[in-house]
A and B are shown apart, each in its own frame.
Chain A
């Protein structure tokens, strides 16, 4: 037991395990007994499941909503949240039985009136598989529906998903539960079914290893905590000199300082880019073209937010709705002047916190 550095630079206490390489299941593992909703929530908690789509929010808290919240819709998020990542797609293709089992289990135990399985239109193969789940004979009242959504970043984001699937808009500062929805990543859902069947908690997960510097890009299944360098070696190592390595996707992922770092529960990709892809866009002056405002999925105005942040004006920042920003990176992507807008947004949020506390 000792201190381990995490990809975001924080030091954390961890146990280092020497693997005997045999991958035998411990005899104490057995499927949980689930008869009531409380048993179910306890079981999910015991499994250690967190949002496997990248958010990492503890699932048992998300599913343990109070009865007065009036939750009627479960949304299974099969939209890949970012470019390059394909683990959710492979989950649909390879573990569709688990997804099927999970959808109907969740519907019965938690009492959803409707389940929407949402996928993006650039994955027609997955569409076929998911259609079978939605049209299953057990779904007498057609409460399980499949919805094909436009492939547009950030479709996989929670609030965008709720709006696309149900038309409801989550108010600022609130959760999907406040508009009667629960959003669950398709891999997390499949895991619940596997756990109820086998009792094996969350000790491994799939992730995509890709990028222009990786020799053999592939989706791999790894034990959580594996060193990133081992994973990259498994994929053939680097074919060109890596210039930037990310955990997570290219829009919201974290750039890491080296590969001697562990994989965490919520990491769904390791991307390594060569020099050409990693070059930083030079920054020039803002021309007020407004492409950032057009790109923002939350209808914010990054140009005005940057101005208010420079003036350290908390009133203006509050009115501009900076707290709603989910740092998806659409604004910075669209900016022709190469402005580091997401950093400006983070700074603006910090200024609002600081000035608001005064």
Chain B
């Protein structure tokens, strides 16, 4: 006590960074806005309806789930908003709103809250929800609308990867069209330009490390280069097609489902890339990013155990000839 007023006596350290969880999540939301704007231009105002549905359902589900489980409220950390946004970006624009709501509810309640809330989910909530919706409502999830057709009449189309995979005889969009997003696909995955801008923003703000996206996209590039017999055009379609950029920048880098240490991050990114290519090339699905990320999410605890850093100065035990440790 000094002059009759009480002093704060707390444990060290007494300096803290100004960063908060909320600020980090806000950065992710900002990074997603270019893609959202591009989506509205390409697919029309229904994009906003789908996004609003997923985001509002996510926030309400989190609020309700925490109340039911008698835990403190966490909606202010904006992580539910981020999950809602990313899930919306993974859905086709024509999806019925009630399906989107179910997906959002599933992501927040089953994948996130039932496992302990933020930081404890076993896999990326948006990815798992997308896969559940894919398995549940296969037809609705495969109904792709042609870009820019919302001004007149919605026309359905095939995704570039499906065309490459031989599932459709439509013409491939030009490379410029691919870069700007004028192609069929999920709401948020088409505009490569917007996604790259968002990714760079996140890396500049130090929210994500460059290691996972570079390892992921790099591995896909290398394998597709070889698989396409060094056809650069094929490589460009593979890199810009599907959900690769969306997945590499925004979903594989989710904190609680990716490793912490740098070398483990690279292994994770390479693994994602490898599985994506295996699924795209050899499996019957045209797109493999969501399953690849899900499988790698499940492997993360094992990767981290094997690649655990040794505390400073740990000396390797030398073995004698008989194999006993000294």
Contacts and interface: CB of A to CB of B under 8 A. Distances in A.
A and B, direct touch (CB closer than 8 Å): yes
A324 B261 CA distance: 18
B314 A172 contact: yes
Contacts of B9: 244, 255-257
A245 interface: yes
A63 interface: no
A346 B12 CA distance: 11
B21 A284 contact: yes
A287 B19 contact: no
Interface stretch (B219-227, B290-298, B304-312): B304-312
A230 interface: no
B68 to A, nearest CB: 17
B260 A301 contact: yes
A348 to B, nearest CB: 13
A224 interface: no
A246 interface: yes
Contacts of B14: 244, 246, 250-251, 253, 255, 273, 278
Contacts of B17: 333-336
A251 B312 contact: no
A83 B12 CA distance: 14
Contacts of A293: 260-261, 309
A271 B301 CA distance: 43
B313 A342 contact: no
B67 to A, nearest CB: 16
B20 interface: yes
Interface in B109-147: 117-119
B7 to A, nearest CB: 6
Contact of A298 (B77, B256, B312, B315): B312
A190 B38 CA distance: 66
Contacts of B314: 171-172, 321
Contact count band on B: 35 or more
Given A172-B313, A259-B2, A281 B74 contact: no
A293 B312 CA distance: 12
B175 to A, nearest CB: 36
Contacts of B256: 287-288
A275 B17 CA distance: 17
A252 B19 CA distance: 20
A338 B16 CA distance: 8
A298 B313 CA distance: 8
Contact of A251 (B2, B12, B310, B313): B12
A53 to B, nearest CB: 16
Most buried by B among A329, A334, A342: A329
B313 A169 contact: yes
Interface in A290-342: 290, 293-294, 297-301, 303, 320-321, 324, 327-329, 332-338, 340, 342
A254 B2 contact: no
Interface in A235-279: 238, 241-246, 250-259, 273, 278
Contact of B21 (A273, A294, A336): A336
B12 A329 contact: yes
Contacts of A297: 312
B119 A251 contact: no
A257 B1 contact: yes
Given A171-B314, A244-B8, A324-B313, A258 B21 contact: no
15 contacts: A159-B313, A171-B315, A238-B2, A243-B7, A250-B14, A251-B15, A255-B12, A256-B9, A284-B21, A289-B255, A293-B261, A298-B312, A299-B309, A336-B20, A342-B13
Given A287-B21, A321-B310, 11 more contacts: A254-B12, A258-B7, A285-B119, A290-B260, A293-B260, A299-B309, A299-B311, A299-B312, A301-B261, A336-B20, A338-B20
